[in-house]
Chain A
Amino acid sequence: MYNGGKIIAGLIIFIGLFTFPIFYNMGKASKMPEPKLDTPAIKELPEAERKCVESKEYMKANHMQLLDEWRDLVLRDGNLVYESTSGKKYIMSLQNTCMHCHSNKKEFCDKCHTYANVKPYCWSCHISPKENET
């Protein structure tokens, strides 16, 4: 092999650089955050009514699709009211319905989004509830 030494050295450096992030972050994985549900609006509700528009599991997995669907339904198709699986009716509004209960955006939204490294641009336009700076 011509220049064998150089090639092998180069390969080692390449592999080292390429896998650096894995080694660097090894053992540092942070715990998955649990969204907090202890806002005043939620606490006020009687135990039996402490439910989101759909089940917890469903919301956890699909809230982004639901919101995406809502925005077209409201903005483009002129709808306002959403009838959930349980038959209860809600006004479709991120800012006024969702965030009324989940007034703790930092604890409820941001923590998981940061953990998952997703950056939804909802809040460039939608006004998040006033929160105490922590």
Chain B
Amino acid sequence: MSINRRNFLKFAGASTLIGVTGTAVIEKILLTDAEAAVSPGSEALTAKRWAMVIDVSKIKTEDDYKKIIHACHSIHNVPDIGNKKDEVKWIWEEDYEHSFPGVSDEFVPESIEHKSFLLLCNHCAKPACVRVCPTKATFKRPDGIVAMDYHRCIGCRFCMAACPYGARSFNWRDPRPFIKEETKEFPTRMKGVVEKCTFCSERLARGLKPACVEASNGALVFGDLEDPNSEVRKALSAHYTLRRKPEVGTAPSVYYVIGGNEHA
């Protein structure tokens, strides 16, 4: 199999001379051929549609929030640029009113009104960002994760205009000087591309849950939305939850437990 693939590669190189069309055809053959020799790995966690349930009542102190955010930002080399204009973030805190604009009521329990919520990419079932991307640099994987291919992104920022959740950040400048502790196992990004949370697809591939979930002491639950026995489904049947802006029809996969303390 692999020998065939190698020959195909050589052939593909030669056919580049023939033209783009030729190469495209070869690539098609090549990819189907290559699938035989590559695999997702035996430890990989799989799902039909990954989802997350966040119960902020279980996050007590400001340090607990910081720990979760740090877990994500440090392993993914997310820069801390230190000004709002150039800001890059994958997961962050926001108050109730601004997390759920349009939903937030005038009179709510103080425990909710002044509580911080954790916001991140919603990995929508019908993502607007994927619909508008002109190069398929952002795309939806079969397991529901809305992924980014930073190699392909041209930096048009159409996805940022389209995302109803403000989940996307653009690298307005080279992020490298602003990464305090570099994680060697994960790449950084370069200037001129858009980035966001990936539901830790690189960890799932190695059998690990997302970093924020691991750091949350059970406040964040992660699992397969289409599996009735999954942790997320159990959490959803036990609690009343909200999703951000469900009215725009993107079908977000991140749920927020409201008033979790009382009913837990």
Contacts and interface: CB of A to CB of B under 8 A. Distances in A.
Direct contact of A and B (CB under 8 A): yes
A38 B210 CA distance: 37
A80 B44 CA distance: 9
Given A69-B30, A127-B188, A92 B2 contact: no
Chain B at the A interface: SS class: loop
A82 B139 CA distance: 23
Nearest to A90: B38
B6 A58 contact: yes
Nearest to A66: B9
Interface stretch (A11-19, A26-34, A44-52, A70-78): A70-78
**Chain A interface size, under 10 / 10 to 19 / 20 to 34 / 35 or more:** 20 to 34
Interface of A: 54, 58, 61-62, 65-66, 69, 71-73, 75-85, 91-92, 95-96, 121, 124-127, 129
Nearest first, the 4 A-B pairs at minimum CB distance are: A80-B41, A124-B190, A85-B2, A125-B187
Interface of B: 2-3, 6, 9-10, 12-13, 30-31, 34-35, 37-41, 44, 77, 139, 141-143, 147, 149-151, 182, 184-190, 201, 205-206
Given A76-B149, A80-B41, 5 more contacts: A65-B12, A69-B9, A78-B143, A83-B2, A95-B184
15 contacts: A54-B6, A61-B13, A69-B9, A75-B151, A76-B147, A80-B41, A80-B44, A80-B205, A81-B38, A83-B2, A83-B37, A95-B187, A125-B187, A125-B190, A127-B77
